[in-house]
């Protein structure tokens, strides 16, 4: 191959790599990265880290990034602005969830042994019982891109990094996973009856904080889930029957 041909091949290869990079960075039509629209909203995409109930990063989460439909992202930004006037902000724990991640959860339940942070996330409940008790399901509204798992932080407060260890998720505020200085009764993804929105076994302060979060999300078009204080789905979601499986990258 002469020098001219080598240059042509090199340029073609460079162009291909550039196209591949653009393709890898693209999202399906109608989806956005929240950070690009609202970088100030706190994120701790827990399934991209080992600190979740499985004890390992979950398939489909290539990086820690909140991806949502544009409609859900816009509504979330409005909820954040609403809360700012009350001295709070949002903290995202999960957004769009690839269908392969949902399948990985159900597979994990069926596999005895292996990694498991049950002492933190499902204290007192056997791993094999999580599906029967409704804590893990075979499909998720998260895969449609308009559902978020979200908590509260104090506006302007120091960011809390991803925890690495803790006591039970439904234990005292001082010993459970430290996600925020705002007490919400349990930590995120706590497989416990105390995670139910109106549970009476949490402090009055935690109930008020849950109500504050729920009110702001409801005002901007999100529906809550009675068994999980952190879970909200946009009522008018753009893909109400379409689960997606692209990688968060």
Q: Is residue 192 part of a domain?
A: yes
What is the rounded distance in angstroms from the CA atom of residue 238 to the CA atom of residue 71? 7
What is the rounded distance in angstroms from the CA atom of residue 171 to the CA atom of residue 174? 8
Q: Is residue 42 part of a domain?
A: yes
- Pairing, β 222-225 against β 228-234: antiparallel
CA angle 87, 89, 92 (to 5 degrees): 165
Based on the structure, what is the number of domains in the chain?
A: 1
Q: Is residue 172 part of a domain?
A: yes
pLDDT of amino acid 11: 33
> Over its length of 249 residues, how does the chain's per-residue pLDDT go in tens digits?
444 434 333 333 333 333 333 345 799 999 999 999 999 999 999 999 999 999 999 999 999 999 999 999 999 999 999 999 999 999 999 999 999 999 999 999 998 888 899 999 999 999 999 999 999 999 999 999 999 999 999 999 999 999 999 999 999 999 999 999 999 999 999 999 999 999 999 999 999 999 999 999 999 999 999 999 999 999 999 999 999 999 999
Q: Is residue 18 part of a domain?
A: no
pLDDT of amino acid 114: 83
What is the rounded distance in angstroms from the CA atom of residue 23 to the CA atom of residue 245? 16
Question: Domain range spanning residue 74?
Answer: 30-234
Q: What is the enclosing helix (H) or strand (E) of 50?
A: none
Q: Is residue 155 part of a domain?
A: yes
Q: Is residue 193 part of a domain?
A: yes
The set of long-range contacts for 172-176, using a CB threshold of 8 Å and a minimum separation of 24, is 176/120
Catalytic residue flag (residue 220): no
pLDDT of amino acid 242: 98
Which residues have C-beta within 8 Å of that of residue 222, sequence separation ≥ 6? 75, 79, 148, 232, 233, 234, 235
CA-based Rg of the chain, rounded to a whole angstrom?
20
Residue 194 DSSP SS3 = helix
* Active-site residue identified among 80, 179, 228, 237: 228
CB-CB contact of 44 with 34 (8 Å): no
The pTM assigned to this predicted structure is: 0.90
Residue 126, domain CATH = 3.30.1380.10
Q: Is residue 132 part of a domain?
A: yes
What is the rounded distance in angstroms from the CA atom of residue 106 to the CA atom of residue 95? 19
Which backbone phi and psi does 147 adopt, to 5 degrees? -115, 140
CB-CB contact of 184 with 228 (8 Å): no
Which backbone phi and psi does 49 adopt, to 5 degrees? -120, 165
Give the helix, strand, coil percentages of the chain, each rounded to 5. 35, 15, 50
Q: Is residue 79 part of a domain?
A: yes
How many Å separate Cα 94 from the centre of its chain? 0
Helices (H) and strands (E) in the chain, counts: 6, 7
């Amino acid at each position: 191959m002469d020098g001219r041909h080598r240059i042509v091949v090199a340029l073609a290869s460079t162009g291909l790599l550039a196209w591949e990079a653009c393709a890898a960075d693209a999202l399906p039509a109608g989806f956005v990265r929240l950070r690009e629209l609202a970088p100030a909203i706190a994120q701790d995409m827990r399934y991209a880290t080992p600190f979740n109930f499985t004890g390992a990063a979950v398939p489909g989460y290539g990086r820690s990034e909140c991806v949502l439909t544009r409609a859900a992202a816009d509504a979330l930004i409005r909820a954040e602005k609403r809360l700012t006037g009350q001295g709070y902000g949002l903290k995202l724990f999960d957004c769009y969830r690839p269908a392969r991640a949902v399948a990985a959860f159900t597979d994990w339940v069926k596999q005895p042994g292996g990694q498991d942070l049950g002492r933190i996330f499902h204290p007192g409940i056997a791993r094999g019982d999580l599906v029967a008790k409704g804590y893990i399901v075979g499909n998720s509204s998260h895969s449609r891109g308009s559902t978020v798992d979200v908590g509260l932080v104090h506006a302007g407060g120091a960011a809390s990094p991803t925890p690495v260890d803790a006591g039970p998720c439904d234990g005292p505020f001082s010993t459970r996973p430290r996600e925020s200085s705002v007490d919400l009764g349990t930590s995120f993804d706590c497989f416990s009856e105390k995670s139910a929105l109106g549970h009476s076994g949490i402090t009055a302060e935690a109930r008020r904080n849950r109500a504050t979060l729920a009110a702001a999300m409801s005002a901007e078009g999100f529906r809550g889930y009675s068994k999980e204080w952190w879970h909200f789905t946009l009522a008018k979601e753009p893909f109400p029957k379409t689960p997606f499986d692209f990688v968060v990258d």
